[in-house]
Chains A and B, each alone.
Chain A
Amino acid sequence: MGKDFGKDKELFFKNAQIYPYFCAFKSELFAFNMKSVNLLYKIIAIAFALFWVLFIMLDYWQKHPLIWLSFENFRYTGLSVFYLLTTILFTIGVYIGFFRKQKKWLTWIIPYLTMILFMYVSMYAYQGQISKFIEFDTFTLNNLGFFLFKVLRLSLSLLFIVMVCRSLGRWIFGLFKINGQSIATSLIQIAIGIATLVTILFYLGIFGLLRDFILWPVCLLILGLDYKANLQFLKNLLLKPIVVSEDFNWLGALSFSLLIIIISINFTQIIRPIPTGFDALTLYMNLPSLINDYSGLVQGYQPYNWSLFMSLGFIMFYSTEYALALSALGGLLSLLVMFWIGRNWLKLNINLVLLSLSVFYLMPTIIHQSSKELKVDLGLLFMLLCIVMLFLVWKSPEHENEENKLDKADALLPKWIEKASNNSLIEKLRQIAPPYLILLGLLTGFALGIKLTALFIFFSVVAAMWFLHAGKYGFLGIFCLSVFAVLLFKLDNLGDLRQYHIGAWWQQWVMLAAGIALIVYILLKDREKSVKEIKHGLIYLLFTIIPFFPWLVKNYSETKKTDINAILNGKPTGPNVSIQKMNQKYQNYKNSKK
């Protein structure tokens, strides 16, 4: 408000020798005005916030009859009381300092056993309810034992696959001489390991070698070659006490309980002999099942990296539930990445991190994909989160000095990996490009092979890299160029919407011009760093293409066509018929009858 005084008025006061008084008055007035504006703002903001919250919640309530029907028909009061009591006990445990003393018995086995307990109790509760409507006998000890056997077998199988992937990831890290000790790197190693394992599956699949008698020895060999690290991993998982943070409180306990509850429900739900849901039955679970039938790659379809991963469930464990569990694994691993980003990188309080995880994992769409209709999106999410995490690790200031140094503590790495890492080719590769950038590209390419929507992350990472280099102008430059690429390649045609955007053609060139102008401006300001950033962008692009390229070759070999639809989708699935062909055949048939 104080700034409203014009310059001429200021001059007048100056000339009138009352300038000091004017200044004092002006700053007083300004401070007073700012104070009252701030207060006014806060009052209006709180009023708006309350209106916003109430309106949105009421509207949500109104538009979601399933929620009020769920409350109206709620039948699991006993089960909820049990959940609540467990949570209260847990919270009390926290308050009386049980967990703060880091008791040796508080390992990851405790939450796991709690999850199994929750599974049993919820099944009992269900049996009690459903038997009111249909014939459903009480469980015998045999039934319960059978269930426990299934749960343990499924959990161990998942652990087995995760360990195989982790070993592969560790080796890749070792080859690039990257420090591999933190939780973050463990998770990235698993992601890299999954990508490597799927690449192996892809090449075996070309020759129809996706058979149990081939994959079991391969996986066991991988585990065996890295047995020291795997034993260490198991020891940590089973025996190492969980460190509970000092500030852990009721909110954290509640969130943690909710997570265990929902994981137990989801896990119970996926132990099933057939998948459910349209997309799962027609594509996402169908494809792994077909891979198993053919013992190799299936013709047609867009690149299907995660389906290859899921096919391990059918090939190695001979059952749908393992394939379903491998699909759901992506969601669980995503929780761990979220935990790392929240806790270690954003330095959030443990309670808020756990609250974030429960808010995310309890979203109905996530529950749906974790237990009802298992697809590839949670796998993709894990990969994308790992890309973000890798980017953060790479660019974090603490990491600057550690790059390209093999951590001394990682003595568990097999000797042959260390030798291989000194290979001249790998040495050269490391010199050409930062290893983290190479891994970033490889993971992005792998994610692109899960679903083409992973292209969003490519643009986003490049934009973030340019933001770090040149601030918001750098970001906006890449934004303009991304939009140009999107419009040029008609990526907005996913929903056939391009036809509605009349000016898209000229708009793409405007965006190109704006993008180039911004990049040139940045180049002029700091040529050396900008050139380095462009080089990084190109390297990232190159390594993104590498894991994706085999899919393009596969699709080309099926179709012998170079157009983008053929290269991305391969041979069309289903019988090769068309209305014309059908008509022709029908006419021939009719003529022959005459």
Chain B
Amino acid sequence: MQELKRKIAFIVCLFLISIINLNSFAKNDFSNFESELIAQNNNQKKATPKKNNPQNKKGQNLKAQQAAKNKKAAQKQQAKKQPASKAQNQNKSAQQAKPKRTKSNAIREEIQRYLGYESLLPRYLTLPYDTSLNSNVDGYYVEIGYFLLLFIPLILLFVFRRKPILGFTVILGSLFLLIISTSNGVLVKEKIQRVNVNQENLQQYLADYPASENFSGNTIASIYSVLYQIYQPINSLFSSISGEKDAVTYPILFLLFVGLYLMVMTGISHKSTLLKALVSLTFLFTFLWFLLAVGIIWYGYLMIPLTILLIMYAFRNTWKEDWFGKTLFSVFISSTIIWLVFSLVLRISNIYQVDATAGVHIYDAPVVKYQTGLYDKEQVIQTYFPGINNAIKRINRDEESLVYSVGTMFPFFIKKNNERILTDNLLAYYDGLKNRYNSSTEIAEVLKVNGFRYILVNLKLYRIDKTPEKSVEKKFLDFMRFLYQNEKLELLGTNRIVKVTSNTGQTSYKYEVFGDIHTAGTYAIYRIK
């Protein structure tokens, strides 16, 4: 008996110790997944002045803590009242998220853009649609196409062909997804401009693109308009239960997951246990991606091949069935082939810039010259980044000096870059400096005193900004002001070309950062004098 008691006491102690350890573990986070973030976090920890550092709580008095608590409670109240439409939400959240210079601000700018900035519940619920149609972030690197979005509901319709109630649930669920996703989504104008969906923008879009001019765009916008009207009561519901913060999103997601899982299991109850285990594995992996990966598609690559194979498996015999199965199979095969053609044409044309050469670049000229022995490595670098070789050589000669990099891709070329480069990709560090020092020359001097000799700048950094408040753009503009006519800085190299008109009216071009821009360029390298 005594031994039993001792054992129980031991287990209780062990449990308490583990809980204490877990709590200290939980105070940290897993936020450093991607390169930018790794560097960003490290730098921001350094950049955040101690008085603002939330981890440095020792010096805070009780009053301050109480005030913070009250503020938090007020924020909770306010957050609950927020409306949910993307445009409205974005404005609201922009106001709410007054750029505190913290780590979360940079994560909001860099990472949360994949998830979107609508209110919390629709932010998750629209993820399947947003990921497939790239409503939040676009580009080849996040592009998975419509295959999964298109066929998962269709295959469920087929699976439930003998259970019509479940089939109708799938239809309603898909329509619900469509309504909330389109109403919180975007439309593309003028081939590049992305406008948020709201009543005003939709009307403008329909006026700008009549069906006679742009049939597909007009049709889509018309359907969007109808869906937007249907969305309004849902929006009110979302507004009453969710907002910037809420307590319902997780439970709703968990319940949806369980419901969907049980539904699918009912549909495949006659299949082998191992197949069901594979479906279960795919389900949980997808859910964890959904919950934790903030919509970053490459964190969940595994779900793509597995789901494709499972879709193929589900469709494998549909063509042997009645007219229903045959029709679905025809739709499946034709849409898949269209997708493959889209994808191949997209790759062959490989358009990243719309100019006279658009559609030519299946390969890169300097690389092909390298492959055929016409160029060496140096020449390739020089062609990609004109004027960079000398600047890089200089930085590499000066091995002890530190380098301040703002969003550039150059670490690869710089020796000992893991020790020398201070990465400030979202300018959080610069923001800290700017708040402390008044003049641009003084900031440059501070950098120099601290061993920095070079500044690398990505001239297109502002492009990554998807925040409604445009915080990165603002910081970037500030940073460019710091560079502008700063007598402590010397331009070592850039691929931006500006037009210079002399007093006699003659026009010439030169590599320069500021002026009448002729070619935007991508980088600039400065030396601190």
Contacts and interface: CB of A to CB of B under 8 A. Distances in A.
B186 interface: yes
B157 A392 contact: no
A586 B111 contact: no
B91 interface: no
A45 B112 CA distance: 36
Contact of A269 (B289, B301, B367): B367
Contact of A134 (B327, B337, B365, B372): B365
A369 B351 CA distance: 17
B371 interface: yes
| Consensus secondary structure, chain B interface | helix
Interface stretch (B2-10, B213-221, B470-478): B213-221
B343 A362 contact: yes
Interface residues of B, number: 189
Contact of A281 (B112, B168, B331, B410): B410
A254 to B, nearest CB: 8
Contact of A251 (B304, B333, B370): B333
B308 A499 contact: no
B454 to A, nearest CB: 12
A41 B161 contact: yes
B372 A147 contact: yes
A83 to B, nearest CB: 9
B360 A586 contact: no
A373 B141 contact: yes
B485 interface: no
B371 A150 contact: yes
Contacts of B42: 569, 572-574
Nearest to A493: B29
A365 B142 contact: yes
B11 interface: no
Given A293-B415, A388-B302, A575-B422, A580 B49 contact: yes
Contacts of A236: none
B380 A274 contact: yes
B412 A564 contact: no
Contacts of B365: 130, 134, 136
A496 B31 contact: yes
A57 B145 CA distance: 10
A63 B133 contact: yes
B74 interface: no
Interface stretch (B60-68, B445-453, B492-500, B506-514): B445-453
Interface string B400-430: 0010000001111101111111110000010
B377 A273 contact: yes
B97 to A, nearest CB: 11
Contacts of B339: 359
Given A272-B367, A503-B250, A358 B340 contact: yes
Contact of A359 (B192, B217, B340, B362): B340
B278 interface: yes
A499 B413 CA distance: 38
A490 B251 CA distance: 16
A467 B280 contact: yes
B284 interface: yes
A504 interface: yes
Interface in B50-78: 50, 76
B293 interface: yes
Contacts of A132: 360
B324 A45 contact: yes
B277 A133 contact: no
B309 A468 contact: no
A493 B140 CA distance: 26
A358 to B, nearest CB: 6
Given A302-B38, A580-B50, A341 B309 contact: yes
Interface in B336-358: 336-340, 342-351, 354, 356-358
Contact of B24 (A42, A356, A511, A563): A563
B381 A274 contact: yes
Contact of A67 (B150, B246, B345): B345
Interface string B274-305: 11111011101101110111100111111011
B188 to A, nearest CB: 5
A582 B298 CA distance: 37
A556 B453 CA distance: 32
A126 interface: yes
A63 B328 CA distance: 25
Interface residues on A, range: 35 or more
Contact of B247 (A49, A503, A568): A503
| Residue picked from B285, B302, B304, B336, most chain A C-beta under 10 Å | B302
Interface string B1-45: 000000000000000000000101111111111111011001101
Contact of B245 (A59, A293, A500): A500
B211 interface: no
A264 to B, nearest CB: 11
A401 interface: no
Contacts of B484: none
A538 interface: no
B98 interface: no
Interface string A70-110: 11111110011000000000000000000000000000000
Given A362-B347, A501-B246, A573-B39, A275 B141 contact: no
A258 B161 CA distance: 33
A412 interface: no
Contact of A482 (B26, B30, B274, B288): B288
A424 interface: no
A298 interface: yes
Contact of A69 (B22, B26, B191, B446): B191
Interface in A483-514: 483, 486-504, 507, 511
A213 B419 CA distance: 27
A70 B359 contact: yes
Contacts of A385: 302, 305
B292 A492 contact: yes
Given A494-B294, A501-B249, A583-B446, A142 B373 contact: yes
B231 interface: no
Contacts of A504: 250
B445 A52 contact: no
Nearest to A72: B359
Contact of A73 (B45, B144, B358, B370): B358
A284 interface: yes
Contact of A494 (B31, B138, B348): B31
19 contacts: A46-B324, A55-B178, A57-B150, A126-B360, A126-B368, A265-B347, A271-B367, A356-B309, A377-B301, A378-B301, A395-B274, A460-B281, A461-B281, A467-B280, A483-B254, A494-B111, A501-B120, A573-B38, A586-B446
Given A65-B191, A496-B104, 12 more contacts: A42-B161, A42-B324, A46-B328, A58-B216, A59-B182, A123-B368, A342-B309, A348-B312, A495-B294, A502-B246, A579-B429, A583-B436
10 smallest CB-CB distances across A and B, nearest first, come from: A73-B359, A283-B35, A503-B247, A495-B294, A493-B29, A578-B46, A70-B349, A364-B143, A143-B372, A41-B164
